Structures are given as structure tokens and as C-alpha cells.
Amino acid sequence: MPSRRQLLQASALVSGLGALGLESSLAFAARAAAQGPVYAYVGTYSDGGKPWRGGRGQGVHQFVLDGATGALKPIAGAPAAVASTGEGAKLRNPASLARHPKLPMLYAANEFEAGSVSAFRIGANGALTFVSETPCGGKDPAYISVHPDGRFLFTANYASGDVSVLALRADGTPDASVTAVVYKDVEACGASTPCKPGADVVPQAARSHEGFATSDHDGPHAHMVHADPKGDFVLVADLGLDRVISYRFDRITGVLSQPSTVAVSESSGARHFVFHPNGKWLYLVNEEASTIAFMRYDNATGVLTLVSETSALPKGFKGTSYASGIRMLPDGQHFVSLNRLHDSISIFKVDARTGAPTLVREEWSRGNYPRSCTLDPSGRFLYVCHNKQGDNVTVFRVKGGDIQFTGQYVAVGSAAAIEFSA
């Protein structure tokens, strides 16, 4: 814990450099000293089950962040990972992570048939301590998030095509006395606008041998669930139904109601989305079409309106590629999306007046099959997780609306997602 004198010295140094417009490594080091260390946690596929999962991770891997360089280093005195194998293991395929917005708690979605959520307390040294494992009521939860109020947790259950709402106690632990409430994606559409899976566009060769490069439309597949910026609505991207579902959210009871939906092109595969800082524009990655769907969002009603769909791949590209993660850059004028098989990061510029995205360029991801990307708390570094044949995390420096590879690789088997302690 930094002393009062250290805090004052760090604050004075950062303020002085900021007034000069100099955000140097020294300034960030001073800020880090004042705020304390930041820790990073990498979720993995630790149990393959199916070939596409990988299964070479050890569980949730633990690191401390070097704020000046972006490097991830082992936590002194802590195990390399919270194990997901062996006797008493409380994890299985912890491929998605989420942090509590106010408390030192980390949650992992265990992606297997009897899906569950494992909760951990973040210790003073950054090491995780297991708290509980709670059933989520759905199969293969592929995404987890926490409402901004910190009272409820959500999982998007890929295999069962539904979304779960779990209550959290005041200390951030899941309330085991309250059964998770599950909402079926297909029921959100109603009789007037029925939901049905799009055509299966997975290549026959991939289906025949269950290769690692697969995607499907065999049924509803909830792939992401997240509250809107104000916390009034909860949005769900369903890959199999090619839709984004918007539910009104009751902050007291956790009930999801009054769903509305918006469809993207058939068989495009709605996967992950990100909001613009203005809260009025949403950008959705379509996995199978490798496109970015641009939507306008009415934060009073939760209604989304599709405006356009833009390719995330370079002009003239031929072959198979599956889009995956997406992240808004700190400048609010650019965002990045990931392309698996093309193994690249697409950089988009946002029109300040209309919100329309334009592909600027692509950057090699420096690994195979990039699945997700996350910014560190400072917004200075972008971390890309490669699972399947990649088995690493690559680190990029954010420079305004662009990124630059730092030369750093972090070896993590079947790396799926990264989350930070602050």
C-alpha cells in the first residue's frame, strides 16, 4: 500500500506531465505506483471435449501487468494458474471472464454441458481464491458479464440457445439460494417475428471431420450478453438466429422483459458487439459473414435499427475466415475486430457525424486464430488471445486510432479471454 507521501509525489508528477501534454512511461509508472499493481487473468479451454475447443490451457492463468511496457509477468508467490484439472478442480473450460464493477471479485463461465459459474476473490497480491461454483441453468456458457450495478450476473449459453440471470450478494458472491433464471432466445421473437436458424454455411469438409475451424446454424446459439451503457437494457447476440435481442432490465428483481429483436443478414452469425461512447451506435461482429453490422440504438426503448453491414476483410480476399472479437479504442473514433484464419486485426474508423464504420487497414495478429481482444485499464495496450493452434496472447500498443505490435508474446495454452483486476 503506497504511503500518503508517495501518493502525493505520484500525483504531482502525473499532473505536471499532463499539463505539458507528456504522457510518458514515467508518468504511467508514477500513476501505477499511486494506484497499486494491476493484475491480468487469462481464461482458457482446459478440457477439449470437442476438437474445436482446443483444451490445452491450465485453467485461469494469473499475471501482474507492467504498466509501462504492457508485459504480463508471473505473480510472485502465486501459482501460474488456478487449475481446472485434478482432484477438487472448480473450473472446466473457463473461456470467458468478467470482473465485478465495484468489488475485488472475478467470475469465470465454465463452458461445458452442465454450465456453471465459478467465483473468485482477488487477493491483495492479485492471486485468486476460489469462493463458489454455481449452476447457470444453461449449456456451454460462452460469455459472462456483470450488470453495472453489481447485483446480477449474466451468461450467454451457446449450446442451449438461452441467457441466464444469476443474483449476486452484497459481497459479490453468487446467491446460491436463488436459482438462475433462464430466457430462451427463440421465445424473444414472438409469433409475429419468429426466430429460426439461418442456412448452415459451414463447409462440408469442416463438418465431416469436426475440424477446429467451424461455425454453425443448427439452432439458436447465444454468444454474447451484456447490459447497455446505462444498464437499463440487456442485449443478447444469437449466432444461430442471426439476431440481437434487447430486453428491458429490472434493476431490483433482475427480470428481463419486453424483448425486441433486430435481424442481420441470414447466415451471417451475430457474435459480439460493442457500443460507441455516445451510447447511440452499436457495432456487431458477424462471425460467418465476416462483416460488421452498424446499428443505431435508442437507449430509451432499447430498440436497435440496422443501418449497414461492412466487410471486415481486405478487398479481394478469397477463402474461409471467421470474425470473432471486437473492441472500441479509447479515442472513440476507431474500433478493432478480429479475423480467424485470416489471422488479422481489422482497424475501423467511425464517421463522427453518422457513425458509419470504414475499414482503414489490417494488422497481422501475430498468432493463429485470434478469438478475443481486451484493452488494459489505461487503454494503452491491446491484448489478443489466440486459441486453437495459437496458444498465446500477443500485446499491441495503442497509438491514437492505430495499433503497433510490441514484440511481446505470452505463452498460454488455448487462450480464450483476458480480464484485468481494475
Give 52's DSSP letter: G
The whole-number average pLDDT for the span 82-105 is 88
For 152, 260, 322, 361, the CA distances from 234, given in Å and listed in that order, are: 11, 11, 25, 32
Q: For 344-396, how does the pLDDT look when each residue is reduced to its tens digit (9 = 90+)?
A: 999 999 999 999 999 999 999 999 999 999 999 999 999 999 987 789 999 99
Among 132, 105, 135, residue whose Cα is nearest residue 118: 132
3-state SS, residue 344: strand
pLDDT band, residue 83 (cuts 50/70/90):
confident
Is 235 in contact with 228 (CB distance < 8 Å)? yes
For residue 267, pLDDT over 60 is answered with yes
Task: Give φ, ψ of 271 to 5 degrees.
Answer: -120, -75
Task: Give φ, ψ of 392 to 5 degrees.
Answer: -160, 170
- What is the spatial distance between Cα 282 and Cα 292, in angstroms, rounded to a whole number? 10
Place of cell 463522427: 352
Q: How does the average pLDDT of the chain come out, rounded?
A: 89
The whole-number average pLDDT for the span 295-307 is 98
Among 143, 190, 134, residue whose Cα is nearest residue 162: 143
Higher pLDDT, 2 or 292: 292
Give 299's DSSP letter: T
For 84, 114, 126, 354, 393, the CA distances from 91, given in Å and listed in that order, are: 5, 12, 18, 44, 21
pLDDT band, residue 86 (cuts 50/70/90):
low
Lowest mean pLDDT, pick from 218-222, 292-296, 355-359, 377-381: 218-222
For residue 10, pLDDT over 80 is answered with no
Higher pLDDT, 326 or 11: 326
pLDDT band, residue 192 (cuts 50/70/90):
low
| Cell of residue 87, nine digits | 482432484
Q: Report angle CA 347, 142, 103 to the nearest 5 degrees.
A: 85
Q: For 356-367, how does the pLDDT look when each residue is reduced to its tens digit (9 = 90+)?
A: 999 999 999 999
| Cell of residue 74, nine digits | 508471473
Is pTM beyond 0.85? Reply is: yes
The whole-number average pLDDT for the span 159-173 is 98
| Cell of residue 51, nine digits | 476438437
- Any bridge partners for residue 168, and if so which? 174
Query: Which residues does 208 contact at the CB level (< 8 Å), separation at least 6?
Result: none
Please report, rounded to a whole number, the percentage of residues in the chain having pLDDT higher than 70: 85
| Cell of residue 377, nine digits | 485499464
For residue 14, pLDDT over 50 is answered with no
Place of cell 421465445: 187
For residue 16, pLDDT over 60 is answered with no
- What is the spatial distance between Cα 338 and Cα 416, in angstroms, rounded to a whole number? 13
Q: What is the dihedral of CA 334, 383, 265, 213, to 10 degrees?
A: 150
- What is the spatial distance between Cα 66 and Cα 126, in angstroms, rounded to a whole number? 13
pLDDT band, residue 9 (cuts 50/70/90):
very low
Task: Give φ, ψ of 5 to 5 degrees.
Answer: -65, -45
For residue 111, pLDDT over 90 is answered with yes
For residue 209, pLDDT over 50 is answered with no
- What is the spatial distance between Cα 243 and Cα 161, in angstroms, rounded to a whole number? 12
For residue 305, pLDDT over 50 is answered with yes
3-state SS, residue 273: strand
pLDDT band, residue 51 (cuts 50/70/90):
low
Q: How far is CA 223 from the centre of its chain?
A: 10
The DSSP-derived string for 73-99 is EEPTTS-SEEESSSTT---S-EEEEEE
| Cell of residue 396, nine digits | 499491441
Among 229, 293, 295, 274, residue whose Cα is nearest residue 374: 274
Query: Which residues does 150 contact at the CB level (< 8 Å), separation at least 6?
Result: 100, 101, 102, 103, 168, 172
Residue 323: in which H helix or E strand, if any?
A: strand 322-328
Query: Which residues does 408 contact at the CB level (< 8 Å), separation at least 6?
Result: 69, 70, 71, 394, 395
Q: Report angle CA 20, 26, 32 to the nearest 5 degrees.
A: 110
Is 306 in contact with 262 (CB distance < 8 Å)? yes
